[in-house]
């Protein structure tokens, strides 16, 4: 009898011990907070951590420190280097053709803004502050966004629409917003800190998207930065003056006949849109620097490099002053996070740009190109609980991968409609999985838009090679008398077909893309393999033209084997 009682007691103790252990096992892990910070047009050249020619200027001390404490991605790429499509891709995890936002005139329906919706399902409170530029009402619990100029916003004294107000574009009768006094970068940081401090539900994990307008053109920096870099020489890219064998008849025209038309420039090469047209104009300088003498641009000797040199120096100083404003405001945000115990705890901080940007390379400004400086995105992740400091990876990721990764880190699973892939394993281990993607797809749809005049093109980039196909047509068939498109959109030459051409770069030997080696017989097999990869990738991503864009498919068929 005593033996039986003893056995029952042992079983009872074991049962309750197992029950307690089971209860301990099912206690959910605290979900990480997510702060996603994105600056408009902040390119990798304008960081210290990426080691470009501008690194010696120390343009981003705060962001470099953030990077040193986390992971830096050296091969992060955009899939369509223009603001609205990139932002749509980040929220949907889809390429442009899948999400329907091909160009700056695209809108992303509220119901299709998958990232905040998926995080909400996981118990997150979601917030978006700053630049939006996607037309439709944001699918966030809280938002406070720029609504002027189609969502582009103003650098100074901008109008913003806050959740709870009537959502409509600034200037329309339905608009209900608020004017904030000051510089937009300061205002975005102010509102973000206020939300963290006073408006969020502190019982829930949160995702806060902080989206700066800067350093988008026309580079109107806060006046306190007037003296920053004022007497500093800004290193110049060699390709600003000598472009070697970069490009093709698609970018230059036959016998260079289109050099004055295609690709907005630093120099006076492009007679329709060059940087000097903006910089040496009182209209674009007086707000930041009332004492600026715009006449300097008209007093230069235009027969030599003086104009290009002076324009580049002024261009980069304004751009970097905007970058400085972003870096300083990120420092303010980090200071608050540290004071509240959020910085080193369970908080993920991401910093990126919405694409890259040309800072005079190949005598180009703006973005849109598949060339490295435009296609490459900065991408930094700070997450002390999972990421070892001072780690870097050359794994290829693109902006379709952002949403699946953030959802995965939050404990969820990306919905089937997302085309990107989670790189959570890379973040946590620092290692690239054996089956990880070895290439990325790119497509610029707009074609000869906004006087920047970039021909439409698509292509594939691996770690070593890049293959680009310029097909030179707008996505609407402008030759079809029944076709309709926005003919009032400023600076667009959608009806101008441009020459068709291929470009190929061996990035291991030619990282600055100074030699289009497409016609080099040594690369015949490599190019043939890349074309096969491109066909397969376009098919798998549903990025083919086929019946939807037959006027483009006709060009592809005719020139695929050129």
329-380 pLDDT per residue, tens: 999 999 999 999 999 889 999 999 999 999 999 999 999 999 999 999 999 9
Range of lowest pLDDT (19-23, 374-378, 459-463): 19-23
**Chain centroid to CA 76:** 10
- Regarding beta strands 33-39 and 347-353, do their DSSP bridges make them parallel or antiparallel, or are they unpaired? parallel
Confidence of residue 231 (pLDDT cuts 50, 70, 90): very high
* CA–CA separation, 331 and 243 (whole Å): 38
What is the tens place of the pLDDT at every residue in 541-557? 999 999 899 999 999 99
How sure is the predictor about 170, in pLDDT bands with cuts at 50, 70 and 90? confident
Alpha helices by DSSP H, listed for 206-362, are 249-252, 275-279, 306-339
Q: Which of 460, 457, 441 is nearest to 449 (CA)?
A: 457
Nearby residues of 132 by Cβ (< 8 Å), 6 or more positions away: 87, 138, 143, 145, 146, 147, 151, 211
512-547: pLDDT as tens digits: 999 999 999 999 999 999 999 999 999 999 999 998
pLDDT of residue 487: 87
Q: Identify the pLDDT of residue 289.
A: 76
Span 117-129, pLDDT tens digits: 999 999 999 999 9
Q: 168 pLDDT exceeds 80?
A: yes
Q: How far is it, in rounded angstroms, from Cα 363 to Cα 263?
A: 8
Q: What is the mean pLDDT of the chain?
A: 92
Does residue 67 carry a pLDDT above 90?
Answer: yes
- Tell me the percentage of the chain whose pLDDT exceeds 90: 85
Phi, psi of 504 (to 5 degrees): -135, 130
């Amino acid at each position: 009898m005593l033996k039986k009682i003893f056995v029952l007691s042992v079983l009872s103790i074991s049962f309750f011990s197992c029950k307690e252990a089971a209860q301990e096992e099912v206690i959910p892990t605290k979900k990480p907070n997510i702060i996603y910070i994105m600056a408009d047009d902040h390119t990798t050249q304008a960081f210290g951590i990426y080691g470009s020619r501008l690194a010696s200027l120390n343009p981003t001390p705060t962001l470099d420190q953030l990077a040193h404490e986390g992971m830096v991605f050296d091969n992060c790429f955009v899939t369509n280097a223009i603001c609205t499509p990139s932002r749509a891709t980040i929220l949907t995890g889809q390429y442009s053709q899948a999400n329907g936002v091909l160009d700056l005139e695209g809108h992303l329906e509220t119901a299709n803004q998958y990232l905040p919706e998926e995080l909400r399902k996981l118990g997150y409170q979601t917030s978006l502050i700053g630049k939006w530029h996607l037309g439709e009402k944001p699918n966030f619990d809280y938002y406070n966004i720029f609504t002027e100029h189609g969502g582009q916003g103003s650098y100074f004294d901008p109008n913003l629409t806050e959740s709870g107000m009537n959502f409509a574009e600034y200037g329309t009768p339905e608009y209900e917003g608020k004017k904030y006094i000051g510089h937009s970068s300061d205002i975005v940081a102010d509102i973000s800190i206020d939300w963290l401090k006073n408006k969020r539900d502190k019982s829930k994990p949160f995702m806060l998207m902080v989206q700066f307008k800067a350093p988008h053109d026309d580079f109107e920096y806060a006046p306190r930065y007037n003296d920053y870099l004022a007497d500093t020489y800004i290193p110049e890219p060699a390709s600003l003056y000598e472009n070697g064998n970069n490009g093709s008849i698609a970018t230059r025209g036959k016998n260079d006949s289109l050099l004055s038309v295609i690709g907005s420039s630093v120099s006076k090469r492009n007679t329709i849109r060059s940087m000097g047209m903006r910089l040496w104009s009182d209209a674009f300088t007086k707000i930041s620097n009332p004492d600026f003498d715009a006449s300097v641009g008209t007093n230069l000797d235009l027969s030599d490099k003086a104009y290009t040199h002076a324009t580049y120096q002024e261009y980069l100083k304004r751009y970097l002053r905007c970058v400085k404003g972003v870096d300083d405001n990120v420092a303010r945000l980090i200071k608050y996070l540290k004071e509240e115990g959020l910085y080193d705890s369970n908080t993920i901080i991401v910093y990126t740009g919405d694409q890259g940007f040309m800072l005079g390379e190949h005598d180009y400004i703006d973005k849109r190109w598949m060339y490295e400086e435009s296609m490459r995105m900065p991408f930094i992740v700070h997450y002390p609980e999972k990421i070892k400091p001072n780690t870097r990876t050359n794994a290829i990721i693109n902006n379709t991968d952002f949403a699946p990764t953030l959802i995965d880190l939050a404990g969820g699973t990306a919905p089937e409609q997302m085309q990107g892939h989670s790189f959570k394993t890379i973040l946590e281990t620092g290692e690239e999985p054996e089956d990880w993607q070895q290439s990325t797809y790119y497509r610029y749809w707009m074609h000869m838009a906004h006087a920047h005049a970039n021909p439409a093109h698509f292509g594939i980039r691996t770690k070593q090679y890049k293959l680009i196909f310029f097909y030179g047509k707008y996505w609407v068939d402008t030759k079809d008398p029944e076709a309709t498109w926005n003919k009032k959109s400023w600076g667009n030459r959608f009806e101008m077909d441009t020459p068709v051409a291929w470009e190929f770069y061996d990035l291991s030997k030619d990282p600055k893309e100074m030699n289009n080696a497409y016609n080099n017989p040594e690369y015949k097999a490599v190019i043939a393999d890349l074309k096969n990869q491109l066909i397969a990738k376009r098919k798998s991503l549903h990025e083919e033209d086929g019946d939807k864009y037959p006027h483009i498919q006709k060009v592809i068929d005719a020139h695929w084997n050129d």
